[in-house]
Amino acid sequence: MKVPKRIQSLVEDGLVDEVIRPLMSGKEAKVYIVRCGSEIRCAKVYKDASRRSFKKAVQYQEGRKVRDTRRGRAMEKGSRFGRQEKEEIWQTAEVDALRLLAGAGVRVPEPYGCFDGVLLMELITDATGAAAPRLTDLTMSAGQARRDHAVVMKQIIRMLCAGIIHGDLSEFNVLMEEDGPVIIDLPQAVNAAANNNARSMLLRDVLNITNYYGRHAPELNGMKYAREIWAAYEGGTLHPEFVPTGHFKESTRIADVDGVLEEVNAAARENEERLKRLQGQSS
């Protein structure tokens, strides 16, 4: 087939030898099956920001660190250079997340690098060697649904232990290889500790996955896996082998608003007195 324009430079540099066929097209990228030497891999071609349909991208980027202050200022101003830098960070975020998660024991595609907006990575296959299907394209027994749901919950927990939340997880971005589910599509991956939307995104990810498997195993519906996982994370008891029960009782304790305000006011008074003492010493 004709080589897509964005992959042409990779062909010229010897990184890709042949584009075999398109694999899928999503809201932020198009994916092709390519040959790199003797290996069959994926080439994920990111769409330009103006053509992406990924909603509220700014929410996902909150908390991502930019080491270069010049780049950070340019991104805040929205200059042409700043927009280019923001786009590069969006693209390289997936490579960074994939490498981090692989090291944390999460089953994700192996990345080989991002070049000019094209991510080369492992092609996930099924038992026959064909491209693995997405969960949304499968039917399964109740037993398999329960087993695979437990596997995905374990992956989500390991991601959170590594400081990452997928942020857009559903049956559309989990592939089914011979050995089980594989999580894909991570350019929007969220920093769990630095993003104010982290909790709501985790709850949505877990709910999406549980609702999908709940179609095949109805007993999964209504379980409180997400709140149980987040409570363990906030409480510092979450670990990679944590097994959620789905039976989580939320605290009914009424927040002591007056007590909190009194603590704040006491701290303010103490600070004011400290400043007065310092002023007295300087005079």
The pLDDT score that the predictor gives to residue 203 is 97
Q: How does pLDDT run across 146-159, given as a tens digit for each residue?
A: 999 999 999 999 99
Tell me the pTM: 0.78
Q: What is the mean pLDDT of residues 200-225?
A: 96
21 in a structural domain: yes
The pLDDT score that the predictor gives to residue 74 is 46
The amino acid at 244: P
> How many folded domains does the chain comprise?
1
pLDDT over threshold 60, residue 59: no
pLDDT over threshold 70, residue 68: no
The pLDDT score that the predictor gives to residue 62 is 55
Q: How does pLDDT run across 102-130, given as a tens digit for each residue?
A: 999 999 999 999 998 899 999 999 999 99
* Count of Cβ atoms closer than 10 Å to residue 277 Cβ: 10
Q: What is the mean pLDDT of residues 70-97?
A: 68
pLDDT over threshold 60, residue 4: yes
pLDDT over threshold 90, residue 269: no
Average pLDDT for the chain = 85
The pLDDT score that the predictor gives to residue 88 is 77
90 in a structural domain: yes
Whose structure tokens read 């990924």? 54
Residue 213 burial (C-beta neighbours within 10 Å; 0-12, 13-18, 19+)? buried
Instruction: Give the torsion sign (CA, 84, 85, 86, 89).
Output: positive
pLDDT over threshold 50, residue 43: yes
110 in a structural domain: yes
- Please, which pLDDT band fits residue 1 given cuts at 50, 70 and 90? confident
- Listed in order, strand segments (DSSP E) in the chain are 18-25, 29-36, 39-46, 111-115, 118-122, 164-165, 174-177, 180-183, 190-191
119 in a structural domain: yes
pLDDT over threshold 70, residue 33: yes
156 in a structural domain: yes
38 in a structural domain: yes
93 in a structural domain: yes
279 in a structural domain: no
Return the CATH number at 190.
1.10.510.10
Q: Provide φ and ψ at 271, rounded to 5°.
A: -65, -40
| 162 Cβ contact list (under 8 Å, min separation 6) | 100, 101, 103, 104, 106
Q: What is the mean pLDDT of residues 207-215?
A: 97
The pLDDT score that the predictor gives to residue 235 is 95
Q: How does pLDDT run across 183-206, given as a tens digit for each residue?
A: 999 998 999 999 999 999 999 999
Among 204, 218, 241, 244, residue whose Cα is nearest residue 145:
218
Whose structure tokens read 């605290």? 251
The pLDDT score that the predictor gives to residue 75 is 46
Domain span at residue 193 reads 5-234
